[in-house]
């Protein structure tokens, strides 16, 4: 862990415009990190983390869990949202109220008033794990933004344009940082480079990412 991750940020460091409709809100989740981590662990206890298989048969390096009325799943036929866990046939856990409140507040600060998520994807990264460039395009309501909260080990976030082969920008996301994108950037390609090894006081050798979406 970078020892500077938990130092106070100056006002001009708190908000970074990444692209039209996309903003990085640095440190927004620090104040509530313990409560949000506890909420995430409650979800994981009900819907354990697992490695998903891509439609092409590859195993993702990250582990995932989900909560909300709809959960994102990967199947041989493609990606989709499902109302129940394919492994247990049970509904996904509800999104804890504290997480909903945080996502609503983060979206409003980024300029998206009225956003209320109905799905949350929890990704766990260990050192060396990564996530390739992709679009979040399986939601029916593409007018709503995506809200992404980083906790634990830092990571390098790639944010590009509407073409996979386009130029990407790199942003170092530390504990508590939030990225919100919507509008003209709603279908921007994005990903995460391999996470470097380290130790975070709350999460050890882990990075947890909470991604909130409105499916429909």
**Pair of tokens at residue 51:** 């490695």
pLDDT value of residue 4: 41
| H helices present in the chain, as ranges | 33-46, 97-109
pLDDT tens figures, 96-110: 999 999 999 999 999
* Residue 47 Cα to chain centre, angstroms: 17
Residues 6 or more apart in contact with residue 12 via CB below 8 angstroms = none
Euclidean distance between CA atoms 108 and 32, whole angstroms:
17
% pLDDT > 90, the chain: 81
Q: Which residues pair with 72 in a beta bridge?
A: 81
Phi, psi of 142 (to 5 degrees): -85, 5
Q: Where are the domains of the chain?
A: 15-213
Euclidean distance between CA atoms 126 and 124, whole angstroms:
7
pLDDT value of residue 58: 86
pLDDT value of residue 6: 57
pLDDT tens figures, 123-181: 999 999 999 999 999 999 899 999 999 999 999 999 999 999 989 999 999 999 999 99
% pLDDT > 70, the chain: 94
pLDDT value of residue 216: 82
For residue 74, name the pLDDT band (cuts at 50, 70, 90): confident
DSSP at 115: -
Residue with tokens 């799943």: 73
For residue 8, name the pLDDT band (cuts at 50, 70, 90): low
How wide is the angle at C-alpha 79 spanned by C-alphas 133 and 180, nearest 5°? 50
CATH fold of the domain at 15-213? Jelly Rolls (2.60.120)
């Amino acid at each position: 862990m970078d020892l500077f991750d938990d130092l106070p940020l100056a006002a001009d460091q708190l908000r970074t415009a990444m692209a039209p409709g996309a903003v990085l809100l640095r440190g927004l989740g620090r104040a509530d990190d313990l409560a949000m981590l506890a909420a995430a662990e409650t979800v994981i206890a009900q819907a354990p983390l697992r490695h998903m298989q891509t439609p092409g048969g590859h195993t993702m390096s990250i582990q995932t869990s989900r909560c909300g009325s709809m959960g994102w799943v990967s199947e041989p036929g493609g990606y989709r949202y499902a109302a129940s866990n394919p492994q247990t046939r049970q509904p996904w856990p509800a999104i804890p109220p504290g997480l909903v409140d945080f996502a609503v507040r983060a979206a409003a600060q980024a300029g998206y008033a009225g956003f209320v998520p109905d799905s949350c994807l929890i990704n766990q990264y260990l050192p060396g794990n990564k996530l390739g460039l992709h679009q979040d395009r399986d939601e029916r309501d593409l007018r709503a933004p995506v809200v992404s909260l980083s906790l634990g080990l830092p990571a390098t976030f790639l944010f590009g344009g509407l073409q996979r082969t386009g130029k990407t920008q790199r942003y170092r996301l530390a504990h508590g940082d939030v990225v919100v994108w919507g509008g003209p950037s709603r279908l921007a390609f994005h990903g995460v480079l391999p996470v470097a090894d380290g130790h975070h006081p709350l999460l050890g050798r882990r990075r947890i990412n909470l991604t909130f979406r409105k499916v429909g």
